[in-house]
Amino acid sequence: MDEKLESVFWNVQQRNQGEAEFIQAVKEVLSSMGPVLAKYPTFAEQKIIERICEPERQIIFRVPWQDDRGEVHINRGFRVQFNSALGPYKGGLRFHPSVNLSIIKFLGFEQIFKNALTGMPIGGAKGGSDFDPKGRSDSEVMRFCQSFMTELYRHIGEYTDVPAGDIGVGKREVGYLFGQYKRICNRYESGVLTGKGLHYGGALVRTEATGYGLVYFVQEMLAARSDSLQGKTCVVSGAGNVAIYAIEKVTELGGRVVACSDSTGVIYDQEGIDLPTLKKIKEVDRLPIEKYCETRKHAKYQRKGNIWQIECDVALPCATQNELTGKDAASLIQNGCIVVAEGANMPTTPQGTELLLGSKVGYAPGKAANAGGVATSALEMQQNASRDAWSFEYTDRKLALIMKDIHDRCLETADEFGAPGNYALGANIAGFMGVADAIQSMGLI
């Protein structure tokens, strides 16, 4: 890290003690900022980096709710509104037992740069709760969502803060949240939430967007190397929304995904993952991934297996943060992997990132590669604002163009700052520059 930034990072550590994920995310971005401060010293004079590292607003609240047996539960809700220099706060809600302030701040911090890279007028935020929707009835999830929104509603709005879904928050949860917002506010404000159902303001392609966008980005990475996905062997960690639609798009473009995973283990199917079987297990029946082998008898399941030890050309981590370690990165490099692109947020540890950047593997960070989800959320906001609905094909074309533009900006920025082919540095600097210019233009606020 540049010595000018060491004191900035030290202050961030002191002000956010115990928040390991957030500090990791800040360190990763600050490690790229040395060349920027050398070229634009005014950013240091006006403490632009310090201002970006401090959220504009942090909201923590109690969420009481009652289960089907009448037992009362208390969860904790969060919304960190990090930066609104480019537009209203935008970022998902995550419902998962692991959620805490550090995780929400890391996600919100990453969202600032990701949203800036899309070129859309949206700021960065994130929120959620330590509530676990797994195993809960629809009625229980509804009661929790209604209680959560009863506090959150006063902090959001289509010109203020527009949440969406994330882990544990899909169309069901967004529907309950939107219904409670409409009930409390007494107005049909479609643009206040994205990821809605198609019949009440949702957008086509939103479900597929993060996974599709990830693969469009990979396609551009390979094209920059005069290559393509045709015939490539791929592995995709996770079996949720991002992973499923990444698998779908890889298959459409001629690649073959041979492995995916969930929290219980890994499945390996040498013939290629059968998508209808996977979708039924994970989206309809909501069962562990090992059930895949009951239908595909030749497939292999390894409980708590390591997907990164499987030989592949393209690796797409799409599960959760810090899932791909230094040891995993070494295995991928040794086995001849040529591209690693992040579908999840910060799924590669610092050691893993360092190894990948020091190798010939093309490495794309999540803030660039998985930006398709929030980009399509912004497209949903456009449709809501104009009372319009676009076709799947039209929206998909716009998504592909956005991902190509993000790819090209990352590559061009990396070249400009003396690090050709370094998508991580390119993404950090390109995202930062847009936000920094806006902050500077608005004065000391």
DSSP track, 149-216:
HHHHGGG-BTTTEEEE-BTTB-HHHHHHHHHHHHHHHTS--GGG-SS--GGGT--TTTTTHHHHHHHH
The contacts of residue 186 (CB under 8 Å, 6+ apart) are none
The model's confidence at residue 2, banded by pLDDT at 50, 70 and 90, is: confident
pLDDT digits (tens, 9 = 90+) for 51-90: 999 999 999 999 999 999 999 999 999 999 999 999 999 9
The structure tokens 């003396």 sit at: 418
pLDDT digits (tens, 9 = 90+) for 362-404: 999 999 999 999 999 999 999 999 999 999 999 999 999 999 9
Is 66 one of the annotated binding-site residues? Answer: no
The proportion of the chain whose per-residue pLDDT surpasses 90, expressed as a percent, equals 96
pLDDT of 285 above 90: no
pLDDT of 268 above 90: yes
- pTM surpassing 0.85? yes
pLDDT at 174: 97
**In this structure, are residues 346 and 322 in contact, taking their beta carbons and an 8 Å threshold?**
yes
The residue among 366, 331, 371, 372 whose CA lies nearest residue 348 is 366
Q: State mean pLDDT over 21-30.
A: 95
Q: State mean pLDDT over 165-187.
A: 95
**In this structure, are residues 229 and 253 in contact, taking their beta carbons and an 8 Å threshold?**
yes
Is 114 one of the annotated binding-site residues? Answer: yes
pLDDT at 44: 93
Q: Which amino acid is at 153?
A: Y
The model's confidence at residue 4, banded by pLDDT at 50, 70 and 90, is: confident
The model's confidence at residue 286, banded by pLDDT at 50, 70 and 90, is: confident
**In this structure, are residues 95 and 123 in contact, taking their beta carbons and an 8 Å threshold?**
no
pLDDT at 1: 74
Is 126 among the catalytic positions? Answer: yes
Domains parsed from the chain with CATH numbers: 57-188 (3.40.50.10860), 209-369 (3.40.50.720)
The model's confidence at residue 445, banded by pLDDT at 50, 70 and 90, is: confident
**In this structure, are residues 264 and 307 in contact, taking their beta carbons and an 8 Å threshold?**
no
Q: State mean pLDDT over 114-128.
A: 97
**In this structure, are residues 77 and 104 in contact, taking their beta carbons and an 8 Å threshold?**
no
Distance CA 109, CA 80 (A): 9
The residue among 154, 155, 156, 192 whose CA lies nearest residue 174 is 192
pLDDT digits (tens, 9 = 90+) for 246-257: 999 999 999 999
What SS3 state is found at 337? coil
Structure tokens at 96: 């998962």
pLDDT at 55: 98
pLDDT at 283: 87
What SS3 state is found at 124? strand
Residues 27, 47, 126, 182: which is the catalytic one?
126
Residue 122 vs residues 84, 112, 113, 150, 362: alpha-carbon distances, Å: 7, 9, 10, 24, 28
pLDDT of 260 above 90: yes
Is 191 one of the annotated binding-site residues? Answer: no
Q: State mean pLDDT over 200-227.
A: 96
Cross-strand pairs, 260:
267
pLDDT at 344: 94
Is 377 one of the annotated binding-site residues? Answer: yes
Distance CA 254, CA 314 (A): 13
pLDDT digits (tens, 9 = 90+) for 132-147: 998 899 999 999 999 9
**In this structure, are residues 396 and 212 in contact, taking their beta carbons and an 8 Å threshold?**
yes
**In this structure, are residues 122 and 115 in contact, taking their beta carbons and an 8 Å threshold?**
yes
